A and B are shown apart, each in its own frame.
Chain A
Amino acid sequence: MREQILEILQELRPDVDFENETALITDGILESFDIVALVGELSDAFGVELHVADLVPDNFNSVDGMISLIEKLRDDE
């Protein structure tokens, strides 16, 4: 899953070092329109449905955050 998320992120923002960033939202590295695109890509790639309550910085600040979000969403289904 990590590889696949990294691929999506690299495609979205080739200039960012996603392996090592842990404050993508808090430091303003990702912008609101990146999030819109990312939410769409993640939903399609992993067959999960993201809700507005999932859109909090912890879930998107790092690749690890995104992995746990997707795992949580899969468990809920």
Chain B
Amino acid sequence: MDKSVLNWLQRTAAQSPDKTAYSDVDSSVKFSDVLKYARSVGTAAAKRNTAGKPVAVFAGRSCLTPAVFLGVVFGGSCYAPIDGKLPKNRISRILDNLDPALIIADRAYEESISQLALDCDVLFTEDILDVPADEELLSEIAENANENDPLYIIFTSGSTGNPKGVVTSHHSLMCYIDAYSEVMGIEPDDVLGNQSPLDYIAAIRDIYLPLYTGCSTVILPKEYFMEPARLFDFMTERGVTAVGWSVSAMTVPASLGAFEHGRPEHLKKICFSGSVMPNRCLRTWQENMPDAMFVNQYGPTEATASCTCYRVTEKADDGYVLPIGKAYKNYRVFLLNEDNTATPPGEKGEICVSGPILALGYYNDPERTHKSFVQNPLNKSYNELIYKTGDIGRLRADGNMEFHGRKDRQIKHMGHRVELDEIESACDKIEGVDECCALYDSENERIVLFHSGAANVRDIASGLRKDLPGFMVPRKFIYLEALPRLANGKTDMTALKQRMK
């Protein structure tokens, strides 16, 4: 039995050493070189006694990035990928929580890293890819590893203003990749088109499916998503057969009229996730790609990217309700009422998940971990942790689940999870803002901020940009003399929702 993703890498590198594992627009790397680079990076990291502590990785959309992640694992650590383009304040908060043993960064991030107050070493990728591997050191680390060791820590929006680091084990990741490759029928000759940022949860498929199945991943340049004609041509040129994209990556080309120009000719397997797929968009794709398989996936980072999936067999006419489907292999998904009793079929309840795919919790944050990962209230007999997603679902008579929104103020925007509270807490810190309230205008896919006080739109927008990732900065600002209040003093959200229209 495999106890680590490194077993997958070693096996595939032995079977297909000269096959391309990952490529980007300029270059590519074969499986044997991924293994070689990863062992070098692992040796360099382990010599700095990183084992057992996380290593933060700042890396771009390069075909070498997966090798750096795997190198950290060879060194006995888990990796925490961080987007080096995030505002400095946010990176600092992430690093405070993470307390990494080491940072490994592409040279391109040297300047932004030099502005951070760090108490750990920094190594640059370019300097360590050819370090001679220390066989003895690496095998000792491998012997001490087990499948429940953390593999990665991925940070996501937290309502208090502090991002949460979701820790996932090798075992959970391996369960998910196995289940996904079965549903999507991923074969060694498939070519995956990566859209997700490599530091984001959705990228785990594009990073690990090649190691598991021997297929290959093309990292699509981010800017091509603004030039959909070029994107589709590039996908055809590189023979992309399968994608796992965010819904917004599907809606952007569809609404920009990309199919007027052509289509990705070899694409046959399409999985989308991250938010609710609009029928109009799905229909456009179905009409233009009649031979492709479409799969709707649902699930949070805390359950290793997913919970359920649904293979779409119907045409997405107006009024069609696209289900989120049934649990993947090794996932148990069920509904609970507010009072912790089982929700009967046909009624709405909170979507809960259990199984070996549950994350190990939030890094260095027992309080928030214990709040979200709890003993299954329906099981009084033995330990069974569940994760309460905060999402509302309804089980149909045919056994498929439907998604019915959130219990709280979390939204999905452009494939990212956003806590509206976190935007408000960042906004409260800006001088001249008296009151504020963030809402989501789902029809126009934009975050709207109501604000009062002397600060003008430019002050607020640029203030938020120092603290939040770009996708969390509201795109519409509405000034009010004062926010409307309910009798109990709380903000009158219903009135604000009216104002938004």
Contact = CB atoms under 8 A, between A and B. Distances in A.
Interface residues of B, number: 35
Interface stretch (B251-259, B265-273, B355-363, B422-430): B251-259
B228 A52 contact: yes
Interface residues of A, number: 25
A31 interface: yes
A51 B458 contact: no
Residue of A28, A34, A52, A53 with most partner-chain B CB within 10 A? A52
B255 A32 contact: no
A63 to B, nearest CB: 17
Given A33-B414, A33-B445, A52-B260, A14 B457 contact: yes
Nearest to B85: A28
Contacts of A53: 229, 261
Given A28-B223, A32-B226, A39 B256 contact: yes
B471 A31 contact: yes
Interface string B236-259: 000000000000100110011110
A14 B464 CA distance: 11
Given A33-B248, A52-B256, A55-B256, A15 B465 contact: yes
B473 interface: yes
Nearest to A15: B461
B260 A37 contact: no
A14 B462 CA distance: 8
A50 B257 CA distance: 9
Given A12-B475, A53-B229, A55-B229, A36 B256 contact: yes
Contacts of A72: none
Given A35-B226, A53-B229, A55-B227, A13 B252 contact: no
B462 A15 contact: yes
A60 B444 CA distance: 21
B475 A37 contact: yes
Interface string B203-225: 00000000000000000001101
Q: What's the dominant secondary structure at chain B's contact region? A: helix
A2 B457 CA distance: 21
B261 A52 contact: yes
Nearest to A17: B458
Nearest to B261: A52
A51 to B, nearest CB: 6
Contact of A14 (B85, B261, B445, B458): B458
Nearest to A40: B255
Contacts of B477: 14
Contacts of A37: 444, 446, 475
Contacts of A30: 226
A41 to B, nearest CB: 11
Given A15-B458, A37-B475, A52 B258 contact: yes
B399 interface: no
Contacts of A34: 475
B461 A14 contact: yes
Contacts of B461: 13-15
Interface string A2-41: 0000000001111100000000011010111111110100
Contact of B252 (A15, A36, A57): A36
A51 B465 contact: no
Nearest to B413: A33
B470 A31 contact: yes
Nearest to B456: A14
Contacts of B85: 28
A24 to B, nearest CB: 10
A43 B222 CA distance: 24
Contacts of A60: 226
A61 B248 CA distance: 22
Nearest to B458: A14
A52 B470 contact: no
Given A33-B414, A51-B257, A28 B222 contact: yes
B260 A57 contact: no
Nearest to A27: B223
A29 to B, nearest CB: 9
Residue of B258, B445, B464, B475 with most partner-chain A CB within 10 A? B475
B461 to A, nearest CB: 4
B137 to A, nearest CB: 40
A8 to B, nearest CB: 12
Nearest to A30: B226
Contacts of A28: 85, 222-223
A35 B256 contact: yes
Contacts of B228: 52, 55
A36 B248 CA distance: 11
A12 B477 CA distance: 10
B16 to A, nearest CB: 34
Interface of B: 85, 222-223, 225-230, 248, 251-252, 255-258, 260-261, 414, 444-446, 457-458, 460-462, 464-465, 470-471, 473, 475-477
28 contacts: A11-B476, A13-B475, A14-B457, A14-B458, A14-B460, A14-B461, A14-B477, A15-B461, A15-B462, A15-B464, A15-B465, A25-B226, A26-B223, A28-B85, A28-B223, A31-B226, A31-B414, A32-B225, A32-B226, A35-B226, A37-B475, A50-B257, A51-B257, A52-B229, A52-B258, A52-B261, A56-B230, A57-B227
